[in-house]
Amino acid sequence: MKKEIIKIQDLKREFTMGDETVHALKGISFTIHEGEFVTIMGSSGSGKSTMLNILGCLDQPSSGTYEIDGVLVKKLSRNELAKIRNEKIGFIFQAYNLLPRTTSIENAELPLIYNNKVSTEERHKRAVDALNLVGLGQRLDHTPAQLSGGQQQRVAIARSLVNDPVVILADEATGNLDTRTSYEIMALFQELNHKGKTIVFVTHEPDIAEFSSRTIILKDGAIIKDEFNNDVQDAAAALAALPKED
Amino acid sequence: MRILNLLKTAWKAILLNKVRTLLTMLGIIIGVASVIAMLAIGEGSKQSIRTQISSMGSNMINIRPGADMRGGVRLDASEMQSLKLEDYNALKTEASLITNVSPQVSGSGQVIYGANNWPTSIYGVSPSYIEIKKLDIVNGSMFTQSEVNSFAKVAVIGQTIVENLFPNEDPVGKMIRFDNTPFKIIGVLGEKGENTFGQDQDDIILAPYTAVQKRILAIDYLQSIVASAVSEEKADAAVEQVSEILRKQHNITAHDSDDFNVFSMEELISMFSSTNEMLTVLLVAIASISLLIGGIGIMNIMYVSVKERTREIGLRMAVGGMGRDILLQFLIEAILISITGGLLGVLLGLASTVFIENVLNWPTSVTSYSIIVSFAVCAVTGIFFGWYPARKAAALDPINALRYE
């Protein structure tokens, strides 16, 4: 049996809005093992953002338990949560969220700035390595304005890799990209997954889900489908099959 | 997050908004520059008063008749006749801490020579007066003690009198008339210029006090006594000793108030400095207000900066930045702005001091404490006004900050 990276049990999250209590998550349980590539799908309002915030240790559940890499995330302080995010999680956002007018290297090394155990030299080296891995070895000193959307997302992926996280959380990571670039990014995610990275990918595009090994579908705060994909599509092949551009 | 990274991040943020940061700094720059310039002007005029008063004789001691009551009525100092010739003699023989002592009586009137006349003052003094006042004789000589004893009508005149009465003549040996009393000129004083209070120190006639008392003023008391202490350091002790002797002379017991006043030059300096200091305080207060406004400018721009970079803050928090890291980042940015502004302000302050000194010809003196204090105030301003925006940034919820548009 592979290591349990994410383990949630009967997870509930409620928000109070005025007099009303909104049940965003109504008792969810699942376990993600090391090396899995999971897509979480659902329409807006299904609770997938709330789910992702909790998985990313940006938010705490109202009840139920959440364990990440064996650490029980419950009643942790803001600073302890920050430490877990820093050491165990790699974030990728729909809007890339790179620092403007800042080079790829400086963007990629950002998480390590908040880790005192990593020296300046080590930080620099790891940022360069990560950028090489995502295929941006030639654009180390470019600022986001000098990069295409796909390249910016690659910088963001490099940033999520530098701290060697136990899980990469991607929030609609291809949402702002065209089909071709989306497939390129998915090919990169598959490559990272083959190297052993655990990936949780939130999306609402069904074709993206075909590239993952498991899909969890949420509706109204509950899981309506959780199944393994026996027919994982190869993103690189899908990319090659796309009609050639002029 | 290490301090070096913090500094680098803050410095980068500043460089990304050069114009905005410079405009924000302007308040601090002007504030610090004006504090330094104002203090330099204040200190400069204080020192110039000091040197000018010292040039009148830094170890000089002035004795005047003082607060006196006659039947419950306070008398004006000039009407008082409490200083007598005996007091002068007593000081001359008994006071060991003073070297020279001279009585002083004066009157003003018209001095006439031939067709020329001039309004001036005549001072009745003893020969040691020129030692006390640090005067020198450039032509002829000072009168002697025997001339004083014989009520001789001889005079030594200052340069202003020479210019007005003897434009083309050597005054020594000539006869002038002061209020119809003839005086023979036996000496001419060297030029002394104006004193701190704009008074012409060359518009003066010196004559034996005996003659002035009897022929001009018709009095037998002394208006004041001047003396010089053996040294500047002993001036205070000399003041004490003089008071002691005069109290004995005037039979004043420990419970009665003195009927005379003794000043050393040091006291005179501090008297005039205190008005000057008040002015300095006022100037510095005005300058401090601009420093305060500069600080508010920093707070304003830091709020804008936090708002503008909400998503950056969210991201930094998401990748592991703690509240403390975010707080420090913005606080250091604010401090860096204010300290850089302070540094530029110090330079501008020094430059304007040089300008004031050389172009406006005002005496200035930059004190190191004014630089240190205004610089420290800057750092404190940065911390004080940077704190709230930084706290606001640190308290942001990462989820909302990440989605902020």
pLDDT digits (tens, 9 = 90+) for B290-301: 888 888 888 999
**B242 within some domain:** no
Q: Where are the alpha helices (DSSP H) in chain A?
A: 48-55, 78-88, 104-108, 110-113, 120-133, 149-161, 179-194, 206-209, 235-241
**B193 within some domain:** yes
Going by C-alpha positions, the residue among B185, B191, B198, B192 that lies closest to residue B156 is B185
> To the nearest whole number, what is the mean pLDDT of chain A?
92
Of A75-79, A135-139, B276-280, B328-332, the range with the lowest mean pLDDT is B276-280
For chain A, the maximum distance between any two Cα atoms, rounded to a whole number of angstroms, is: 57
pLDDT of B12 higher than 90: no
Going by C-alpha positions, the residue among A94, A60, A48, A46 that lies closest to residue A219 is A46
- Mean pLDDT across B169-185: 89
Question: How far is the C-alpha of B288 from the C-alpha of B290, rounded, in Å?
Answer: 5
DSSP code string of A58-122: SS--SEEEEEETTEE-SS--HHHHHHHHHHHEEEE-TT--PPTT--HHHHHTHHHHT-TTS-HHH
DSSP code string of B227-247: EEESSSTTHHHHHHHHHHHHH
pLDDT of A130 higher than 80: yes
Cβ of B316 and A114 within 8 Å?
Answer: yes
Q: What is the pLDDT of residue B77?
A: 56
Reduce the DSSP state of residue B61 to 3 states and report it: strand
> To the nearest whole number, what is the mean pLDDT of chain B?
85
Residue A154, both tokens: 């690659």
- In a shared domain, residues B123 and B22: no
* pLDDT-above-90 percentage for chain A: 72
Substitution target in A85, A87, A92, A168 with the highest count of B β-carbons within 10 Å is A85
- Mean pLDDT across B379-391: 89
Cβ of B318 and A85 within 8 Å?
Answer: yes
Top-level CATH class of A34-62+77-241? alpha beta
Question: How far is the C-alpha of B339 from the C-alpha of B327, rounded, in Å?
Answer: 18
Cβ of B319 and A86 within 8 Å?
Answer: yes
pLDDT band at B267; cut points 50, 70, 90: confident
Question: How far is the C-alpha of B140 from the C-alpha of B387, rounded, in Å?
Answer: 75
**B264 within some domain:** no
pLDDT band at A150; cut points 50, 70, 90: very high
Going by C-alpha positions, the residue among A24, A36, A63 that lies closest to residue A216 is A36
Substitution target in A78, A123, A152 with the highest count of B β-carbons within 10 Å is A78
Q: What is the pLDDT of residue A107?
A: 94
**B187 within some domain:** yes
Cβ of A83 and B320 within 8 Å?
Answer: yes
- In a shared domain, residues B44 and B110: no
**B78 within some domain:** no
pLDDT of A61 higher than 60: yes
From A100, which residue of chain B is nearest by alpha-carbon distance? B312
From A116, which residue of chain B is nearest by alpha-carbon distance? B1
Q: At which of B165, B193, B224 does a domain end?
A: B224
Question: How far is the C-alpha of A90 from the C-alpha of A79, rounded, in Å?
Answer: 17
**B306 within some domain:** yes
Cβ of A114 and B1 within 8 Å?
Answer: yes
Place of tokens 């703690």: B322
Which of the pair, A245 or B131, is modelled with greater confidence?
A: B131
Q: Which candidate from A97, A102, A116 shows the least CB-CB separation from B402?
A: A97
Of A115-119, B198-202, B227-231, the range with the lowest mean pLDDT is B198-202
Q: What is the pLDDT of residue A85?
A: 94
Quote the domain boundaries for residue B179: 100-224
Reduce the DSSP state of residue B115 to 3 states and report it: coil
- Mean pLDDT across B24-50: 85
Asked whether B262 and B239 are in contact (CB, 8 A), the reply is yes
Query: Which residues in chain A have their CB less than 8 angstroms from residue B396's CB?
Result: none
Cβ of A53 and B399 within 8 Å?
Answer: yes
Q: What is the pLDDT of residue B131?
A: 85
Q: What is the pLDDT of residues B45-100, one digit of tens each?
A: 878 877 777 666 668 888 888 755 555 556 565 567 778 888 888 888 888 888 88
pLDDT of A72 higher than 70: yes
DSSP code string of B178-242: ETTEEEEEEEEEPP--B-TTS-BTTS-EEEEHHHIIIIII--SS-SEEEEEESSSTTHHHHHHHH
Kindly report the length of chain A.
246
pLDDT of A246 higher than 60: no
Asked whether B187 and B172 are in contact (CB, 8 A), the reply is yes
A with B: how many residue pairs have Cβ under 8 Å apart? 59
Cβ of A79 and B314 within 8 Å?
Answer: no
* pLDDT-above-90 percentage for chain B: 24
pLDDT of B373 higher than 60: yes
Residue B325, both tokens: 């890291």
Query: Which residues in chain A have their CB less than 8 angstroms from residue B316's CB?
Result: 110, 114
Question: How far is the C-alpha of B330 from the C-alpha of B9, rounded, in Å?
Answer: 9
**B260 within some domain:** no
Cβ of A113 and B12 within 8 Å?
Answer: no
- In a shared domain, residues B307 and B216: no
Question: How far is the C-alpha of A68 from the C-alpha of B250, rounded, in Å?
Answer: 99
Number of domains in chain B: 2
- Using a CB–CB cut-off of 8 Å, the residues of A that contact B are 53, 56, 58-59, 78-79, 82-83, 85-87, 91, 93, 97, 99, 101-102, 110-111, 113-116, 159, 163
- Mean pLDDT across B147-175: 90
**B138 within some domain:** yes
Q: What is the pLDDT of residue B196?
A: 59
Which of the pair, B192 or A24, is modelled with greater confidence?
A: A24
Chain B, 384 to 403: residues with Cβ < 8 Å from chain A are 398-399, 402
Q: What is the pLDDT of residue B78?
A: 57
pLDDT of B314 higher than 90: yes
Which of the pair, B80 or A58, is modelled with greater confidence?
A: A58
* pLDDT-above-70 percentage for chain A: 99
- In a shared domain, residues B220 and B106: yes
- Mean pLDDT across B124-153: 89
